[in-house]
Each structure stands twice: as C-alpha cells, then as structure tokens.
Amino acid sequence: MPTMLTDVFRGHPIHLPHSHQPDFTSLSELPDSYTWTPKDDPLLDAAPSPPAASENIPLIDLNHPDAANQIGSACRTWGAFQIANHGVPLELLQGIEFLTGSLFQLPVQRKLKAARSETGFSGYGVARISSFFNKQMWSEGFTITGSPLNDFRKLWPQHHLNNYCDIVEEYEEQMQKLASKLMWLSLTSLGVSEEDIKWASANPDLNWAQSALQLNHYPVCPEPDRAMGLAAHTDSTLLTILHQNNTAGLQVFRDDLGWVTVPPVPDSLVVNVGDLFHILSNGLFKSVLHRARVNQTRSRLSVAFLWGPQSDIKISPVPKLVSPVGSPLYRSVTWTEYLRTKATHFNEALSMIKNDIDE
Ligand SMILES: C=C1C[C@]23C[C@H]1CC[C@H]2[C@@]12CCC[C@@](C)(C(=O)O1)[C@H]2[C@@H]3C(=O)O
Ligand SMILES: O=C(O)CCC(=O)C(=O)O
Ligand SMILES: [Fe+2]
C-alpha cells in the first residue's frame, strides 16, 4: 500500500497558529502582522518597466478541434489557462461553492473543532506555506483528501452530512476525469503518447492518480492593497483545477508582464501547471507562480483540485522530451517525496531535484 496523502506530513510537523486566527469580520484596520511589504515578499509589487500591454491567460473552449494545441501552447507560455465547455455540471460547481460558503460561515469555534493537526493533512486552518512567511495571510482554508466524513462530522449535524459528502465525492470524480483529459491533451501536443508514459494510462479508471481539495476563503479586508490572501507559490501537483466565485483575486506571474489578474469567467475553470508536470515535461511546461489578493467589499471563495500520481509512482522527464544528446533536467521523484521536500524547502524544492548538468 503506497503512502496516502493523509500520511505525507506525519514526520514533518509544522507549527500553524490556527487558533490565533483573528475574527476577520471585526477588524476595521489591518493589524501589523497582516501588513505585507516588499521585505516580506520581494515580488510583492513586481511590475515590468515599461508597463506591459494588458494580456491574459487564454480562455480555451474544450470542444474546439484545436484545443490540444491551444492547451499545449498555454502550458508553455503561461503555465495556466481557463477552460469553457469542460463538461462539469454547473449544478456541481454551484454545489461545491455553496458547501464552501457554508463551511466558512460557521463560527470560528466550530471550525476549530476540525482544525488540521501539526502533522495532519486534512482539516481547517491557515495555508501550509504560512510557516515560510513572517506575515500572516488574509485567508482561511480547509483541506480534504479521501472521504471528508470524519472532518465534516465535527462541523455539521448529521442531516447535512450525506449531502455534503456526496457533493465532494462527485466533484472529485468529475475533476479527476477532467484533469486526466487535460493532461493527455497537453501531452499529445508535445507528441507524447500512452506508450511513452507507462504509469499514466488515459483509461478512465485512473487508479494511478490521487488528489486533494483545498477550499479557500478570503474575507472582506479593510486594507486590501497592504494585505495578502495567499502568498506567491507554485503548486506541487501535476495539474490544479480551480473554481473561483465571481470575485477576482487570483494572479499569475510572468517574467515579462509581472502579476496578471485572472478574471472570473462564469462557468469556466482555471487550470494551473504544477511542479510535477514541469518535471515530467522536462521543463517545457511552466509551473506557474500564482497568488491570491483580497478585496475591500466582496469576500472571495475558491476551490482547488490538486491532482497528482499515487505515491509509489516515480515522476521523471519523459525520455522523448529529453534531446538525444542532452540529459534530463530533473531527477525522478514521487509525489510524497516532493511534497515533503516542499514542506521543508518551499520554493527551493524544484531546484533541489534539478540535475547538475555539466556545461
Ligand atoms: C497536496 C498538497 C498540495 C498543497 C500541500 C498539500 C495539501 C494542500 C496544498 C496547498 C493548497 C494551498 C497552497 C499550497 C501551496 C499550500 O500551502 O497547501 C498547496 C500545497 C502545494 O501545492 O504545495
Ligand atoms: O484562491 C485562489 O485563487 C488560489 C488558490 C491556490 O492557489 C491554491 O489553493 O493552491
Ligand atoms: Fe495554488
């Protein structure tokens, strides 16, 4: 039995000050501990000079005959794109958004009953990456993997549980199918086929994959320009599929453009390339640096489906994508190993598995 995501952080406790979470709604001024300056994050105000033309991540129609190439091109230039006509029922998107909203509306004492433990994976709390920053983020999160029943029991009375668990299960199923489809479309655009990656069958049973759901809430903030919802990071996944409510906040980084806001497009989903897909593509696909800003008048919700391989699968650059004379850019790594490296070294994790290539 490979390590499940639940056990990934067993030996990697981090101190997460959940219980210091302020009652966001009662603050009329931003506390010092929530005020970010470029000292806390060097890329905070990163903008190109001269200012770049306004460009945005592509919105791709999954029914378009050229979708594979459009996705491949977005993965190379942005590491992110939005998709329309993704086939996920809209009621399900509404359902997971409703569930997320009602979860975060619970009184903080109730949410803390389901607090994520220091070595745990699932439950309520601040983002895992919080421990790498001096300042606190203006957000709260809830992580789910596998059945949410045990955690949900701590939050809601019995009569809600079946319904909420069904929504999560159905959402994970739909996302899983979509993620695999997107992975294969983008790989096809690189000329990579199923024979080239033995472990990743396009077969819809998908027993080689596993996933987590991260529910995020960014409350209304008195001074949004000085606060940070979720600090800049890349995801440690193959792909992440994100549903955001109709409040903007997600930004992606491009060296030549600086921070670019991803506008909410009703009924569409945002897709991010994660570090593992960057490794698999031998660096051709970019794992996108992204963050979430906050808003003075509207609270924001997002649901991230974090998708990767089962823990016994070693990810390494597809040989076909390594030039005949070159060597692979990265060593092989399992998702578990990578999450643990990231838990200790954060944004240095990718460079730590880079091969030293003789010039
Ligand atoms: C499967 C994953 C991926 C995790 C860790 C673990 C569970 C929660 C994910 C997130 C979600 C929020 C941003 C992030 C950076 C975080 O702090 O927790 C993500 C992290 C990663 O992508 O590295
Ligand atoms: O809220 C967002 O838009 C971003 C969330 C995110 O990056 C994550 O959960 O990994
Ligand atoms: Fe993310």
Q: Are 154 and 117 in contact (CB under 8 A)?
A: no
- Whole-model pTM over 0.90: yes
How far CA 14 is from CA of 2, 144, 342, 354, in Å, comes to 23, 18, 12, 25
pLDDT above 80: residue 206:
no
**C-alpha–C-alpha distance, residues 205 and 201, integer Å:** 9
- Which residue from 136, 236, 333 has its CB within 8 A of the most atoms of ligand 1, so it is best to mutate? 236
- Mean pLDDT, range 157-179, rounded to an integer: 96
pLDDT in tens, 289-325: 999 999 999 999 999 999 999 999 999 999 999 987 7
The phi and psi torsions of 78 (rounded to 5 degrees) equal -115, -35
Ligand 3 being an ion, which residues bring their Cβ within 5 A of it? 235
How far CA 250 is from CA of 150, 153, 163, 265, 353, in Å, comes to 30, 31, 29, 12, 28
290 lines ligand 1 (CB under 6 A): no
pLDDT in tens, 9-38: 988 887 766 555 666 777 788 999 999 999
- Which residue from 175, 211, 233, 242 has its CB within 8 A of the most atoms of ligand 2, so it is best to mutate? 242
The dihedral through the CA atoms of 313, 236, 286, 81 has a sign that is: positive
What was the pLDDT predicted at 314? 96
What was the pLDDT predicted at 12? 82
- Mean pLDDT, range 212-234, rounded to an integer: 96
Q: In what order do the strands lie in the sheet with 258-261?
A: 230-233, 290-292, 250-254, 258-261
CA angle, 258 then 264 then 269, to 5° = 100
How many CB atoms neighbour CB 265 within 10 A? 14
232 lines ligand 1 (CB under 6 A): no
- Which residue from 175, 214, 347 has its CB within 8 A of the most atoms of ligand 1, so it is best to mutate? 214
pLDDT band at 353 (very low <50, low <70, confident <90, very high): very high
Question: What are the residue numbers of the active site?
Answer: 300
> Interface pTM (ipTM) of the complex?
0.99
CATH of 55-117+127-352, one of 3.40.50.1820, 2.40.128.50, 3.30.70.1230, 2.60.120.330: 2.60.120.330
Distance (Å) from CA 152 to ligand 3 centroid: 23
Q: Which atom of ligand 2 is nearest to the CA of 214?
A: 9
Q: Are 82 and 286 in contact (CB under 8 A)?
A: no
Distance (Å) from CA 236 to ligand 3 centroid: 8
Q: Which residue shows structure tokens 């963050």?
A: 291
Strands 239-244 and 269-273: antiparallel
**C-alpha–C-alpha distance, residues 347 and 132, integer Å:** 10
Percent of the chain beyond pLDDT 70?
96
Q: Which atom of ligand 1 is nearest to the CA of 342?
A: 23
